[in-house]
Amino acid sequence: MRLLFICKKRMASYGISFGLLNSAKFVCNALIKNGIECKVVSVVDNNYIDKEVHLFKPTHVIIEAYWVVPSKFDILCKKYPNIKWIVRGHSKIPFFANEGISMKWTAEYIQNMKKYNNLYLSFNDKDTCDTIYYGFDYLPIYLPNIYSSPLTGKLIKRRKRHHKKCHIDIGCFGAIRPMKNTLQQAFASIKFADKIGKKLRFHVNSGRVEQKGESVIKNLIALFDSSKHELICHEWLNHRDFIRLIGSMDMGIQVSLSESFNIVGADFVYNDILFVGTKDMKWMSFLYRAEPTDINDIVNKMKFSWFLRHTKFHYINKFFLHLHNIMATSKWLFFIKKTNRHIVS
């Protein structure tokens, strides 16, 4: 069995790595440990897929996210009938609503699947699979994310954190877009910092703006210009440098309006940094998941995490993420072995 994960290249300004590429690499890492040969590549567009397939000769090709036009599979499925083609979505429906082609392409992918028995639609979120079934009478395959970073625990120096300092560093990282709920989290972080009597240094990535996120950046700047607290903007970083950055944070926060997994959150959790997530991050303990539209709930979860920091109770999230990884790996292995039986030599 040979799996080829194909991502679409991003603009150079996005940096060396980005979420989908990291996601594919982490799944690849986990499957390699289970004896499956894998490769992750990035291509410019649809026209470069054939070259990568010819070079690697995979049994399965996973197209990460919606970027291959549905009509392309009329060519690929016919030319490579013994390869299993999987389109793997990474978004929940609220995020899809902002992408004008998402439902049209979903319908066209499903129509193609009726013509070709070697084409599959999948998502990394079970709720999304169920929702697509309600609308299209087709149940996509659930292929969840796996957090298997080779950098985990290696780049952050275990140092005693000086919580007596007069400021607190809170990281709210990721692409700036409305669904990330960054402005609401900034207000919550300001309120939290005031309650514990510290100056807030609120850290965000400003080098990647999507879906009219420019307004979010403008509002963040205006908010902190009128505040005693500080907004710190970071360029988009490769994963190695990003892990080092989160090691300098006192807390991470990702209380977004829609999430199907959230690798940033897993980075914080696996490196033992205090972290508050959103209710959609079901791999976490509910004690650290906040309602994204309720600022008081966000602040209360931050306070809960902060005041229990010395007990290391937040390590429970690392345990739950480990359990998720075990489940997710078994899902992938079952699907690969099941579909591999139908490949003609």
Tell me the domains of the chain and their CATH numbers. 2-143 (3.40.50), 167-322 (3.40.50.2000)
Encode pLDDT of 318-343 as tens digits: 999 999 999 999 999 999 999 987 55
- Alpha-carbon span 284 to 317, nearest angstrom: 5
- In sign, the C-alpha dihedral spanning 116, 261, 283, 293 is negative
Residues 70, 109 contacting (CB under 8 angstroms): yes
Half-sphere exposure of 292 (CA within 13 A, CB side): 18
Residue 156, pLDDT score: 62
The predicted pLDDT at position 168 comes to 96
CB 276 within 8 A of CB 290: yes
Q: What is the pLDDT of residue 136?
A: 94
| Cα separation, 245 vs 270, whole angstroms | 14
**How far is it, in rounded angstroms, from Cα 216 to Cα 141?**
34
CB count within 10 Å of CB 261 equals 23
User: Are 299 and 191 contacting, i.e. CB atoms less than 8 angstroms apart?
Assistant: yes
Distance CA 207, CA 142 (A): 32
The pLDDT score that the predictor gives to residue 15 is 41
Q: Which residue has the tokens 């390699």?
A: 32
- Packing angle of the helix pair 263-270, 239-246 (nearest 10 deg): 60
Q: Whose CA is closest to 185, among 166, 204, 212, 213?
A: 204
Q: Where are the beta strands (DSSP E) in 156-282?
A: 167-171, 199-205, 230-234, 251-254, 274-278
Contacts of 184 (CB under 8 A, 6+ apart): 255, 292, 293, 295, 298
Residues in the chain where the model's pLDDT stays below 70: 10-18, 150-164, 207-213, 342-345
**pLDDT score for 316:** 96
Query: Which pLDDT score, from 0 to 100, does residue 3 have?
Result: 97
- CA-based angle 98:12:281, to the nearest 5? 45
- 251 CB neighbour count, 10 Å cutoff: 21
Which residues does residue 43 pair with via DSSP β-bridges, in sequence order?
Answer: 8
